[in-house]
């Protein structure tokens, strides 16, 4: 079930991007809502779970997640937070994009190892996060002028869709004591992406009430999942 949800979140986002990718304002708003949702999941679910463990020096792994995401963005050119329109297709190599997105999604899938609840807050964070990234990916890959892009485009989408499920499969075989380390790394990734989306697009540092409202919408949705807590609070984030 979780595998299917992970794949469907990518497929749904790509299809939306393919057919509505020219609506830049819609894509931007979707990203902002997802950023509010993601940062709330990060601060309300991931970090409490990380620091509740007895493992020491996890802050280093959070910072490592931030730095890792910065390195991955050298490959993806900021696809994760909506920068596809700042670069021509010649500046984004399909192979580099494929590698960057795959590593990003693969690492996010590892903490899902042994997950059985299809509505856990952490899983919801990944699903909501996948949709706007996939939207941007679909808009870029399937609206290019080049007619030779179909095969690599489908391959990139397929690998991205399967990356988190592959990470989840691998997570099943890891020592449970490693869980806080992977969560800390993912927490750093989430924190970096969501904060960049929320803070980078203010024009002249003026108050943007629409943007604030969209962030609050994302925060509210994440808080609803937290408050209703469809999973019992146990030793794991699941």
- Provide the H-helix boundaries in the chain: 2-20, 24-41, 47-52, 58-76, 94-109, 121-141, 150-171, 179-200, 209-228
Which pLDDT score is estimated for 188? 95
Q: Which tokens belong to 204?
A: 């002249």
Which pLDDT score is estimated for 102? 93
The per-residue pLDDT for range 103-137, each reduced to its tens digit, is: 999 999 999 988 887 778 899 999 999 998 899 88
Distance (Å, whole) CA 81 – CA 96: 17
> Contact, 46 vs 78, CB < 8 A?
no
Strand, helix or coil for residue 202:
coil
Which pLDDT score is estimated for 144? 64
Distance (Å, whole) CA 224 – CA 238: 16
The pTM of this model reads 0.85
- Provide the H-helix boundaries in 142-229: 150-171, 179-200, 209-228
CB atoms within 10 A of CB 131: 21
Choose among 183, 192, 197, 187: nearest CA to 36: 197
Position 233 confidence tier, pLDDT thresholds 50, 70, 90 = very low
Name residue, tokens 């146990």.
Answer: 234
Q: Is pLDDT of 151 > 80? A: no
Distance (Å, whole) CA 234 – CA 127: 22
The per-residue pLDDT for range 65-102, each reduced to its tens digit, is: 999 999 998 888 777 776 554 444 555 567 888 889 99
Which pLDDT score is estimated for 220? 95
Position 232 confidence tier, pLDDT thresholds 50, 70, 90 = very low
């Amino acid at each position: 079930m979780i595998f299917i949800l992970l794949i469907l979140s990518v497929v749904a986002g790509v299809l939306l991007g393919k057919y509505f990718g020219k609506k830049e304002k819609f894509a931007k708003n979707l990203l902002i809502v997802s950023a509010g949702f993601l940062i709330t999941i990060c601060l309300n679910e991931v970090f409490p779970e990380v620091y509740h463990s007895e493992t020491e020096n996890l802050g280093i792994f959070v910072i490592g997640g931030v730095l890792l995401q910065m390195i991955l963005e050298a490959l993806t050119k900021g696809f994760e937070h909506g920068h596809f329109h700042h670069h021509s297709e010649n500046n984004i190599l399909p192979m580099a994009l494929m590698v960057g997105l795959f590593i990003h999604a693969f690492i996010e899938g590892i903490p899902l190892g042994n997950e059985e609840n299809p509505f856990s807050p952490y899983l919801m964070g990944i699903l909501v996060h996948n949709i706007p990234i996939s939207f941007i990916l679909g808009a870029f890959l399937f609206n290019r002028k080049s007619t030779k892009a179909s095969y690599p485009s489908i391959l990139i989408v397929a690998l991205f869709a399967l990356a988190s499920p592959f990470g989840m499969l691998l997570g099943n075989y890891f020592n449970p004591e490693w869980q806080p380390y992977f969560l800390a790394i993912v927490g750093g990734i989430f924190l970096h992406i969501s904060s960049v989306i929320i803070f980078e697009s203010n024009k002249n540092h003026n108050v943007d009430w629409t943007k604030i409202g969209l962030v609050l919408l994302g925060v509210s949705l994440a808080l609803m999942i937290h408050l209703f807590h469809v999973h019992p609070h146990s030793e794991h984030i699941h």
